[in-house]
Amino acid sequence: MSDLQHLVGLAPLTFAGAAAMTFGAAFVRGLTGFGMAIILVPLLGMIMPPGEAVVLGIILQLLIGPVGFRRIAADADRRTAVPIGLLAMAATPIGMVALKAVTPDVARLLIAVVAIFAFLILFLPQHPDGHRPGPGSIGVTGFASGVLTGFAAMPGPPVVPFYLRQRIAPGVARASMMLVFFATAVAGTLASLWLGLATVKLFILSFLLFVPMWLGDHVGTRLFGRVPVPVWRSIVAVVLGIAGLSALFRLLA
């Protein structure tokens, strides 16, 4: 057994695969503002138990959250992002308790359903010009995002349609989603520590994966803004579609 395998439980080639997955998922995050966990958790579930993949995805989101945070906070629609983030933080432990209670096969099934649902919901029509989300919509989005954070490290399925269906600039949507996801990462990490799901091995692995994650996010961020809005929205849909298919493939394999 190699030193790396003894340290994090992954053989060198498997770790290299995890690093490549992390780079790609972080690149999508930098470009779109979301998608890292939606892509990464099903992929990591191929090389580790689903529960560990979820916790690792949450810790990685916590580590990347402060990168560019000042600009994210300035560009976000704080009227909606702050309450959604706070509600999601409060609901995250509920999802984590559910994750701890189900079997790995059930977890994989539900994660696949979440990923596919996130893709399908983007086909709903956009809201009309001037639409302002009400307290009910904000509340449901925040609660659902928190539960999905704890259960699957996927706060995005409720949050992405919430912002992309509004007629706001991509920069505002991207920053708002990132602000919410950082809040859920904080809550998810604390809940995983409280429930004993976060291990020293997963923290070490997350720190080792930080460099490829930062590089991927940096490259994606540099490309953001150079992509036309229709192309950007298409990329978002494709990302969610691929995530859903990969989760479904893992379930059927």
Q: What per-residue confidence (pLDDT) applies to 243? A: 66
Locate 21 and state its tokens.
Answer: 């997955």
**CA-to-CA separations, 37 to 22, 65, 119, 213, in angstroms, rounded:** 9, 13, 14, 12
CA 142 to chain centre: 14
The runs of H, that is alpha helices, within the chain are 3-8, 12-32, 36-44, 50-64, 69-75, 78-101, 104-121, 135-152, 156-164, 170-194, 200-208, 210-223, 229-252
> How many CA atoms lie within 13 Å of 120's alpha carbon, on the beta-carbon side?
8
- Domain extents for the chain? 3-252
Q: What pLDDT is attached to residue 1?
A: 54
Mean pLDDT by 10 residues, the chain (253 residues): 70 89 90 80 82 89 90 92 95 86 77 73 71 89 89 80 84 91 90 86 94 94 80 74 68 64
**Rounded CA separation 207/59 (Å):** 9
